[in-house]
Chain A
């Protein structure tokens, strides 16, 4: 479960981003249930699903960037 303390500490340590106690609690209340529900995605049996990143897109983007530099 996401707590206000975890929110405040994470935002401070990772991003030097400060939030009030009230905001930390509101963030925990808003994001916590969604992060908990996202754990249910594991139930979809994703073992046979490949990682959905496309090398052809990366290659096409590299070619586009090369053209822009000329």
Chain B
């Protein structure tokens, strides 16, 4: 089997073929390392490629599988982690200059679990500095490029995680989401991103941005891969006191469910301000769901716009608390945009922080009421396609449209409520760039979100890969 053929399998298919010994973990890992060598100097999705670690793990997986010790669907599967997750003895930079030489003494729980499941670590993925931004234009490690158009941003902060999935330089990746950092890059790059319920996945060993808003979750090619990854990483962690003891279900069950008879609500507060492309794509997705017998109406979460403000205030305060010492001692080592938002945190009052925290219950109550007897809620993943790198914070100076707020508007509110949300591609714009839809569920109902997403994914069919990627694969 050629390298390019190996790179086309999702994790589910890889798991089956690895277990059946139709493909070898060593061969698969070499295919991914070759692909990284081929394209990553252009994409900058990786900060560190762990060739030796990957080859050693692949050989071990091969030996174990050969002797009948199969650990599950991730055994021998090459993955990569956002460079915000601690990896023992391996550079963990947070995308910063501040931590440019930092090698943790322990692993993040998420990596511990994936490693025990037999996953092969290809490396650590580039991001917006300290996860505090939405472009992944990193001043220290290079601007991550969108595989669909390298002149454009991949979104952020988990830009490397999404770019690597679409560029076929990792089979699955991990991202984190505080204001939209899993879903925005998934939307702009054209892959699946799941922000689980807050506390569903351990944050132990994950460099924090905002303690009470940070979520860790999968970025994958397919919905079923996201479900498989959740099966490995979800669940209580005694090292993370905030992690939930809520029962973990098998997320891969029910992914073949039909949509007929389901009820869904479109979030009114997020159903405007879309570009023509985004409007057409979202409406087409909704029409496709209706054609399958889904009853869809419009619902309101009146305080959702304010939940975005609350998200900003909470993040200002909590991020600055984490960064205070470095901001006092070496502010010049931050990129301009990250330093600027940390400066906002210096000015955030305790009263506004506590008020923002209290407001979360109000918005969640409204979201729960909006869900009512509906299965899930729907919203666009982004109002726009990926902007060009260097467009700055303003995409339309005359209209005073702020790029950051344009992207965050659709995602921030659900970090504030902590609900599970999955971003799934809805197709490509006329200019050939990905567009996306969000599927929003009740707390701890990731299974329902995944079921709806899987059914929609079947309905939608495959998304054309990036042109440059197709060309590279034929070489």
Contacts and interface: CB of A to CB of B under 8 A. Distances in A.
Contacts of B306: 37, 40-41, 44
A51 to B, nearest CB: 7
Given A31-B344, A35-B347, A38-B355, A46 B362 contact: yes
B309 A34 contact: yes
A26 B339 CA distance: 12
Given A42-B355, A49-B358, A37 B309 contact: yes
B328 interface: yes
Contacts of B358: 46, 49-52
A31 B238 CA distance: 38
Contacts of B355: 38, 41-42, 46
A51 B306 CA distance: 18
B312 A52 contact: no
A35 to B, nearest CB: 7
Interface in B318-363: 324, 327-328, 331, 340, 343-344, 346-348, 352, 354-362
B277 to A, nearest CB: 29
Contacts of B239: 64
Contacts of A60: 241
A22 B396 CA distance: 23
Contacts, number: 89
A16 to B, nearest CB: 7
B359 A44 contact: yes
A70 B297 CA distance: 57
A64 B243 CA distance: 13
A15 to B, nearest CB: 6
B351 to A, nearest CB: 10
Nearest to B355: A41
A21 interface: no
A4 to B, nearest CB: 12
Contacts of B357: 51-53
Interface in B175-212: none
A57 interface: yes
B429 interface: no
Interface string A7-47: 10011001111010001001100110011011011101110
B303 A31 contact: no
B242 A57 contact: yes
Contacts of B452: none
A57 B328 CA distance: 30
A34 B354 CA distance: 15
A12 B221 CA distance: 48
A5 interface: no
Contact of A57 (B241, B343, B359): B241
Contact of B361 (A14, A30, A49): A49
Interface of B: 238-239, 241-242, 303, 306, 309-310, 312-313, 316, 324, 327-328, 331, 340, 343-344, 346-348, 352, 354-362
Given A15-B327, A16-B328, A41-B352, 4 more contacts: A17-B327, A35-B347, A38-B310, A41-B309
